[in-house]
Amino acid sequence: MNRGVALLGTGIMGAGMAERLLDQGFSIDVWDRTPAATARLAERGATTHAKPVDAVRTADVVLTMLATPEAVSDVMLTQNALGAIRTGAAWAQMGTIGVKAIEDLIAVVAERRPDVAFVDAPVSGTRDPARTGQLTILASGPDRARTTLDPVFAALGQRVLWLGPAGFGTRLKLVLNTWLAFEVEAVAEASAAADRLGVPYESLLAAVRGGPLASGSALARLAKMESSDHSPQFPLEWGLKDLDLTAAATGPEAIPVARAIAERWRILVGQGAGRLDVSAARLGLTSDAPVSAPR
């Protein structure tokens, strides 16, 4: 029997995950600070709640997909959703909130709710993989949580990596998102160079498709850049946030080029591109056209 799941945070990723779980027959309770974000999920059979504490009370599995450490702390600690989780349930923290925030949560759960299994489980993937169960889940936490979480993770992910004690999932996720930033910036600058040199998009694509230079993710971003489709799969402001979290955890001297990428992206976010897809990294390289936010 599928387990009852509470999902807190139904933005781009959270909504996709909720839709996938509903499609797979799970009973879902959802909450978001913006009630409109849960309306479509209610139409599909999810139970919506005005307060996070009410969403988690009867769940076997609590998933948080919130964008920042401040949001997680507010929902789980200040609003005390942690206190409302039932004994024996598992809480999987699936957003990317950084090493310090995860370590703080590990300590708080151990002190306040040792009867709740806390799992650090950020995901690698964007909106479409979330909807289709193709995420990579970087899970870390106590072995006792695996039986409870395995059916949920199996529905959401094509791969589930159990990495050891809680905290290692976040560490690996920061490494992967730093890699992603390099890929995105490489595609953006290669595209800009091709434009300045008069190389047609079709020629560039033919040269890199099927070869070792470009991953599937890079080619997808290249296509979005070429068509100027910056509808958000993974917003630029989230990419910048993750680079800042990596720098905070490693020290900036470990990632000098990534920090340079972050500073260029910070300019774009400041110009209004933060909610656009990370493919908006292409903006400003060959055009002085103003950046505009999505409608």
Residue extents of the structural domains in the chain: 5-165, 171-282
Q: Could you give the dihedral angle defined by the CA atoms of residues 98, 102, 105 and 109, in that order, rounded to the nearest 10 degrees?
A: 160
Q: What's the rounded Cα separation, in Å, for the pair 77 and 32?
A: 16
C-alpha 37/C-alpha 19 separation (Å) is: 12
Amino acid, res. 15: A
pTM: 0.92
Residue 294 confidence (pLDDT): 45
Does domain 5-165 sit in CATH 3.40.50.720?
yes
Identify the pLDDT of residue 152: 97
What residues does 146 pair with on adjacent strands? none
CATH number of the domain at 171-282, out of 1.10.287.610, 1.10.1040.10, 3.40.50.300, 3.30.450.20? 1.10.1040.10
Per-residue pLDDT at 291: 53
Sheet holding 135-139, edge to edge: 123-124, 135-139, 157-162
Structure-token pair, residue 106: 């590990």
In the prediction, which pLDDT does 3 show? 62
Contact assessment for residue 17 and residue 6, using Cβ atoms and an 8 Å cutoff:
no
Collect all residues with Cβ–Cβ distance below 8 Å to 180 and sequence separation of at least 6: 217, 239, 278
Compute the chain's Rg from CA coordinates. Answer: 20
pLDDT tens-digit profile, the chain (295 residues): 456 999 999 999 999 999 999 999 999 999 999 988 899 999 999 999 999 999 999 999 999 999 899 999 999 999 999 999 999 999 999 999 999 999 999 999 999 999 999 999 999 998 899 999 999 999 999 999 999 999 999 999 999 999 999 999 999 999 999 999 999 999 999 999 999 999 999 999 999 999 999 999 999 999 999 999 999 999 999 999 999 999 999 998 999 999 999 999 999 999 999 999 999 999 999 864 445 544 4
SS3 labels along 51-83: CHHHHHCCCCEEEECCCCHHHHHHHHHHCCHHH
